[in-house]
Structure 1
Amino acid sequence: MAKGYSRLLFFFSSIFTHLLVLSLAQPNFVIQSCSNDNGNYTTNSAYQTNLNSLLSSISSNNEIDYGFYNESSGQEPDKVNAIALCRGDVSLDVCRGCVKNATQKILQVCPNQKEAIGWYDECMLRYSNNSIFGEMEIQPSLELVSTQNVSSDVNAFNTGLQDLLRNLLLKNGSSHLKFQTGDTTASFQPIYALVQCTPDLSGVICSDCLDQAIAEIPSCCSGKIGGRVLTPSCNFRFEALPFL
């Protein structure tokens, strides 16, 4: 009887452990990019120590209250720079939770990479061994596009979409958070959109980044009811339904 009880206890203990691991696991990124251009770092190297220290510092930072983190750790040639950016409309608690998940997930999906970037719906995390603060970077440029097509006039929809985004672009340059949202109707189709840059960019550089991202619409998103273009320095998103 004792032996059977022991086996039953082990069975339920195993289930509990499995569920605990699942509950603690970070959600998958919406999309990520693990760069091979700058090579890999070796396990237990100075670069890994600096990276781990930096990500830990960002994930535990309770002083930042506007959703933008830019920190460095270590000295050259093993210095690591990182940026975390939350979507401009999310609450502080959601922002911090998202950033914390990202600092752990990035090491799982891009192991031993000296440069990587990952996006959730609510935040983005990027680290690199290169200088990244105050500099525009549009590569990698990643796209997420709805499978649904616009049912009305595609040309009119595309024109309305680009007009909306460029109007938000102009407003965005003077924004402290470099974040703007808006909506319109084009060819009887509602469009909800946001544009955002990392706040360390000047208004001119932010506008330039978004202008290049918006220029990708004809090749990536023409006639689609939703889509995103994500770059390290700026991004935009549009949907047929409210998402903010």
Structure 2
Amino acid sequence: MTIRVVVADDQELVRAGFAMILAAQPDIEVVAESGNGFEAVGAARTHRPDVVLLDIRMPGMDGIEAARIICAETPSRVIMLTTFGQDDYVFDALRAGASGFLLKDVRRDDLVHAVRVAVAGESLLAPSVTRTLVAAFTSGRAVRPPRTELLTVLTERERETLRLLGRGLSNAEIATTLVVSEHTVKSHVSNLLAKLGLRDRAQAVIAAYETGLVIPGQLGDAEPDLD
């Protein structure tokens, strides 16, 4: 299967470099390049790519708004491009439907891997990145009351799987923690995503915090009261 990609970045050299790296892969085709959010949305609507690489900060329409439209109107997976450590909008991008993010100084092999991982529906958030994102989110925004009512549709195992996802664990690590097979974990993940109406694991991380399953700054996360 050929993975079709749109690359959107207002810096021509960055955009061209990413496109060149991806186009050199036998299983990846770059179907369009865009210099701003409006162009990125248009390219996504026209080409219906599997993945859109989308810079967060672009003139006209920024990457977050573009991601919101692309994720709402197309099945494309969106990967945000950012200079992490200076960008305060990563969490907003994930909430908009993005599947994860990459640093602009990403290594060649990691860029290619990320595109393939996004198509497979896996998470692009390493545990350390997850913790950093949540810390940035909670330090810059008021913490709202947890939406525990969302958890009532999940089984006990699905809630536990969501909690571990929120802490940044991989499928293998969740399987070890729960003493089950990776296949069982994949089933739990698939079920909880469907029940909560989530696109992927990145949005599951957000849900784990919004429902109170994971509490920023606490290592031992308690099960929230569902009553």
Instruction: Give yes or no for TM over 0.5.
Output: no
Structure with more strand by fraction: 1
Structure with more helix by fraction: 2
Q: Which has the larger radius of gyration?
A: 1
The two structures have a TM-score, normalised by structure 1, of 0.27
The two structures have a TM-score, normalised by structure 2, of 0.28
Greater length-normalized contact order (CA 8 Å, ≥ 6 residues apart): 1
